[in-house]
């Protein structure tokens, strides 16, 4: 089918924003989703408790909507009902949003899953609405265990102060969810949280969410709009910790096997149980060195420079600012926190020289400092690099 002028413009804008070739962007018509797949289920959902449900929250009423449809298509291609239930909340326009119950479908470009809930024009980044949707998803699929995938734009802990360049999570008509609000809406007791969003493997984010789950999968840098390879990783979403490691390996392999600028990936599997120890050790180290001056010549994971903050490699920052015997203790704890880490040699053709699996921010701009000081990480660790 020949693309219209507006569709071509959207693709060019997406390719420009994410700095990857247009040929990597797949266009799925909205009609495929809402006319062929999003029909009201003829039968009521089965409310018998199952072993595990994975909830996927996709906020794509923005430039990522076609990538979102591709991700759903891939989920259907690799999903089997024997795994458990896979529910997807999806919003791609300003009119309606839906919860889909994913079902197996091998036909490429066709969304065949049933719609089990419909919402009107509520903002997907409104924390009150987001909390309601996640509660609805759990009610629609009672389970012993839940995992959560958060799919959208992301910029770590940054607040939406200018309505242009900062998106802590999601972006719907100029509204984003801050990481503090995200903490309040996410249910507790999750088996994992996976961020299919940029910059979320920062200590500020994972510490804010440490009481929600034991494991977090995220990227220190951007996530290209080709996203996670759901046609490969869906079975892993329903597995154990070894499956989570294998999921990360598949994600890394997917990008590491590409050529040129598309060979761009960082990924970490983080154990939240060790984060308090990291906070306490970092606090002690800084308090014992009150006169240190920060050396900023460390690995920065903000490669596109589209947001006004650095995301420094955590271990590298401490190694370059403190004695080896002191930073060694930080390294030992980070090795306990990071159960899996991998990075391509370059990201957007920029070398990655250091990668510990965790990043930390230095909010030089004063307008961000007040917000930063309200984060749980700052309150506990009192890590003040500004």
Q: In the 8-state DSSP scheme, what is residue 147?
A: E
How high is the pLDDT of residue 257? 98
How high is the pLDDT of residue 14? 37
Question: What does the DSSP assignment read for 82-112?
Answer: GG-EEEEEEE-SSS-EEEEE------TT---
Report the predicted TM-score, pTM, of the whole model to 2 decimal places: 0.87
How high is the pLDDT of residue 141? 97
β pairing state of 338-343 and 266-271: antiparallel
Contact yes or no for 198/219 (Cβ under 8 A): yes
Length of the chain: 386
Please give the sequence-ordered ranges of beta strands (E in DSSP) within the chain, or none if there are none. Answer: 50-59, 85-91, 97-101, 114-119, 143-151, 169-172, 175-177, 192-196, 215-218, 266-271, 311-313, 338-343, 346-347, 350-351, 359-361
Instruction: pLDDT tens for the chain, 386 residues: list them.
Output: 333 333 333 333 333 334 333 323 333 443 344 333 443 333 444 567 899 999 999 999 888 989 999 999 999 999 999 999 999 999 999 899 999 999 999 998 889 999 999 999 999 999 999 999 999 999 999 999 999 999 999 989 988 665 544 557 887 877 888 899 999 999 999 999 999 999 999 999 999 999 999 999 999 999 999 999 999 999 999 999 999 999 999 999 999 999 999 999 999 999 999 999 999 999 999 888 877 777 778 999 999 888 888 899 999 999 988 889 989 999 999 999 999 999 999 999 999 999 999 999 988 788 888 889 999 999 999 877 77
Q: Quote the distance between the C-alpha of residue 288 and its chain's center.
A: 35
Cα three-residue angle 183-376-88, rounded to 5 degrees? 20
CA dihedral of 115, 121, 122, 123, whole degrees rounded to 10: 100
Q: Quote the distance between the C-alpha of residue 39 and its chain's center.
A: 28
How high is the pLDDT of residue 128? 95
d(CA 32, CA 37): 7
How high is the pLDDT of residue 42? 37
| pLDDT tens, residue by residue, 151-164 | 999 989 988 665 54
How high is the pLDDT of residue 162? 59
How high is the pLDDT of residue 17? 34
How high is the pLDDT of residue 73? 97
| pLDDT tens, residue by residue, 2-22 | 333 333 333 333 333 343 333
Q: Which of helix, strand or coil describes residue 126?
A: coil
d(CA 230, CA 325): 42
């Amino acid at each position: 089918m020949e693309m219209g002028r507006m569709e071509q413009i959207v693709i060019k804008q997406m390719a420009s924003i994410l700095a990857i070739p247009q040929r990597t962007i797949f266009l799925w018509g909205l009609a495929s989703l809402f006319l062929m797949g999003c029909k009201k289920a003829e039968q009521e959902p089965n409310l018998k408790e199952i072993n595990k449900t994975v909830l996927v929250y996709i906020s794509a009423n923005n430039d990522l909507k076609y990538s979102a449809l591709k991700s759903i298509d891939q989920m259907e291609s690799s999903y089997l009902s024997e795994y458990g239930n896979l529910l997807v909340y999806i919003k791609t326009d300003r009119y309606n949003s839906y919860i889909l119950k994913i079902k197996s479908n091998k036909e490429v470009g066709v969304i065949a899953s049933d719609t089990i809930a419909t919402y009107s024009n509520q903002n997907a980044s409104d924390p009150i609405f987001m909390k309601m949707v996640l509660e609805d998803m759990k009610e629609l699929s009672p389970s012993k265990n839940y995992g959560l995938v958060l799919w959208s734009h992301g910029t770590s802990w940054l607040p939406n102060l200018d309505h242009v360049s900062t998106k802590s999570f999601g972006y719907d008509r100029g509204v984003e969810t801050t990481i503090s609000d995200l903490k309040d809406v996410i249910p507790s007791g999750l088996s994992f949280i996976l961020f299919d969003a940029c910059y979320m493997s920062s200590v500020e984010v994972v510490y804010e969410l440490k009481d929600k789950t034991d494991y977090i999968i995220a990227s220190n840098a951007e996530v290209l709009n080709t996203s996670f390879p759901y046609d490969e990783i869906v079975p892993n979403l329903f597995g154990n910790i070894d499956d989570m490691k294998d999921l990360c390996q598949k994600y890394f392999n997917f990008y590491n096997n590409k050529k040129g600028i598309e060979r761009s990936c960082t990924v970490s599997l983080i154990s939240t149980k060790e984060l308090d120890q990291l906070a306490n050790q970092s606090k002690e180290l800084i308090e014992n060195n009150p006169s240190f001056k920060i050396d900023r010549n460390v690995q920065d994971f903000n490669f596109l420079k589209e947001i006004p903050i650095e995301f420094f490699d955590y271990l590298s920052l401490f190694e370059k600012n403190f004695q080896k015997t002191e930073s060694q203790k930080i390294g030992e704890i980070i090795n306990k926190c990071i159960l899996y880490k991998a990075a391509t040699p370059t990201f957007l053709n920029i070398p990655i020289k250091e990668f510990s699996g965790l990043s930390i921010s230095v909010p030089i701009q004063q307008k961000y400092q007040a917000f930063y000081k309200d984060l749980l990480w700052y309150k506990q660790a009192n890590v003040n690099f500004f």
